[in-house]
Structure 1
């Protein structure tokens, strides 16, 4: 059985690490914490790196992703697994901030692991790594609480950057897939009445609207706190209230639901 850290690394001499013979897989390496300034208010510091679990049944895929994550000092790879059963064991044995998981595992579905991860650690972020650009599968992943969906063999993506993006309140999705989803949404809008009345049962306070507008603009928690001169804890409290009122599970869902209901 291969070791979780059985990965050959080569130092490029500038503080970043590269893997040999990446082929047409995995995209671009994220800049390391040694070569790029990283604000101290963002999650993912060398003194407190983001803890990641990786579950994929393809050893080559795991090796490539793990190698990139290990090359970034802001990220700590806690463990790897190749099956649903091993993934469940990792969930119970490790504290983690991000779960990266494939949907198709040899002994089950990654969707099961997403649900168990959310039950075990509700605040954890989920990034799906899949070979499929399937819209229903993507939407189902986000419905279960995923905040990222990356497609294998895509050039324009970075696994390390995706991890740092989701833990700081953002979303991570392969650019080509994002464009396909936008086309899909545009098609749906063209076939329904574009004017949708707001839900009278859901109301947001003035402050909650301000917070949600900043979320929609792309600001993370700490940046919203600075913009509104409130604490990060207060921002998170507002976000939780917004989730409850809109029956949303992610920030992307909250923005979408509020927009459709005329609450933004």
Structure 2
């Protein structure tokens, strides 16, 4: 990455960041007081938030496994990487196909520092990390590191896991996704998960919105209809748009109650 293209790279420890707050919910240590305070505010109102974070990670593992094993995808663009944990996108993909190539994208310098240090690719494949913001899809698509790693003439698995609810309405979330999807060749796939208030009691929504406002209005949960709009024109993979625990759960497991997770997920093919 050139110095002119590199973001400022300053870690603001006084403001909660989605990736660090998620790390806190997963039991990680790579977070600051502001992240923990914000995470605790949400957990006080929504006690199952930590399970929701774990279920989102499990959905990623199942969906990437499907793309690598059943759809034959060998290259992935993972936007909103988050801090490293077990079974990241390249771990799952390269376990199935060691030659898989992955580009990780996040806008938090702390995430990028940890990713570069801890996420080690297979010898046959590649894992590359670029510091960019989802809200500026052009900067992602124009990154030299992306084009040095992925061949955009061949199908790509684009993953947007628990990230789009941090793109608020005035930041044109649908336009952001359309720009990314339009850059992917036919036969590519999109994996998405997204927070929702569907099924949540009104009094709980009010408290969650108070906690959200206290942390700077980080998130914008969306309804099933609003989430499905991101996938307009794409070919949904069965079972379609469902609570993430219901997307091809592992045999013998009991999916969680949707109201305990409050997140939709889907996998769709780009025709």
TM-score, with normalisation over the residues of structure 2?
0.31
- Computing the radius of gyration from Cα coordinates, the structure with the larger value is 1
Greater relative CO, 1 or 2 (CA 8 Å, sep 6+): 2
